[in-house]
Amino acid sequence: MSAIPSNLYTAPKVNGINSIKTTSITLRPVNASSTSEFMYDGNREDCFHIPAYANSYISPKQTFLSMIVNAVRPDGDTTSTYRFNPGYPVFNRIQIKTSSGAIICDIDDYHILLKLLFNFDPEFESKAGVSGDYRFCETETVDESELTESGVTIQHDILAGLFSQDHYLPVGLFSGAAGHSFEITLSLNDPEMCMSSSTGSAPIEDLKYKLSNCNMQMKWFSFQNR
């Protein structure tokens, strides 16, 4: 019989599962270097390869795009300012395919779908700051000077196909000869469809923008072999 009262014993130690590893990774476009810029009249496609890690899953809800958006003034112009439509709809098409080449998602007018899904998202207002939707800001001109200088950092969720649902994706099961599981290609939108001049009616050919520091943030869950 123990001299220590039973109610003074500490709670039993619970052993967690140490075979599950969580990792955050950053992917760069495979068709450009880390310093490359994307423009509608130049390199107009962002292409990402999702690795096919064995025994691994990705969380679509924790996967998003991050980029810096700059409005580009014509040569010799130092005063013009511009603004983007709410949400910075800089992509007009998204295509997702497996490493074997099978297309599982191909959406044109992606910027329209993005706008509709944003409007019906229960967390729409809380995401407005990172998605660039200034409709919830007290002033709608907060980004105009930044756009033509250092640019504005924007985050976009991938709201298409397998990446717009709640379940984890077993990327290891989609491994192919190409060495990756999925290929995600986003095509840039026509400047006329996503931005306008805020200092008068600028000619359409003067509307230009560029994307830099484009990357994809992902959360991985892997199971260690035991």
What is the model's pLDDT at position 5?
A: 64
Going along the chain from its start, the domains and CATH numbers come out as 26-223 (3.90.249.10)
Amino acid in the structure at residue 70: N
Residue 58: closest CA among 216, 219, 176, 182 = 219
- Across 59-192, the runs of DSSP E, i.e. the strands, are 64-71, 82-84, 91-98, 103-108, 152-157, 180-188
Q: What is the pLDDT of residues 153-208, one digit of tens each?
A: 888 888 887 888 888 888 888 877 778 899 999 999 999 888 888 776 556 667 89
Distance, in Å, from the CA atom of 150 to the CA atom of 152, rounded to the nearest integer, reads 7
| 49 within 8 A of 183, measured Cβ to Cβ | yes
pLDDT in the model for residue 132: 59
DSSP secondary-structure letter at 60? Answer: G
Give all strands (DSSP E) within the chain, no chain letters: 20-27, 38-39, 45-51, 56-58, 64-71, 82-84, 91-98, 103-108, 152-157, 180-188, 195-197, 209-223
User: Quick check: 1 pLDDT over 60?
Assistant: no
Please count the helices (runs of H) and the strands (runs of E) in the chain. 4, 12
Under 8 Å between Cβ of 107 and 96:
no
Q: What percent of the chain has pLDDT over 90?
A: 22
Planar angle of CA 50, 41, 160, nearest 5 degrees: 35
Instruction: Give the 3-state DSSP-derived string for 174-192, with helices as H, strands as E and coil as C.
Output: HCCCCCEEEEEEEEECCHH
Could you tell me which residue, 226 or 180, shows the higher pLDDT?
A: 180
Mean pLDDT calculated for residue range 105-118: 86
Q: Which two tokens stand for residue 88?
A: 């910075």
Q: What Å distances lie between residue 157 and 50, 52, 60, 117, 212, CA to CA?
A: 15, 21, 9, 11, 17
**What percent of the chain is predicted at pLDDT more than 70?**
75
pLDDT at residue 226 greater than cutoff 60: no
> Among candidates 106, 104, 107, 93, which has minimal Cα distance to 174?
104
Is 132 in a helix, a strand, or coil?
A: coil
Average pLDDT value over all residues in the chain: 80
Of the listed ranges 70-84, 111-125, 152-166, the one predicted with least confidence? 111-125
Give the pLDDT score at 16.
60
Q: What is the pLDDT of residues 17-56, one digit of tens each?
A: 667 788 888 999 998 876 688 999 888 999 999 988 888 8
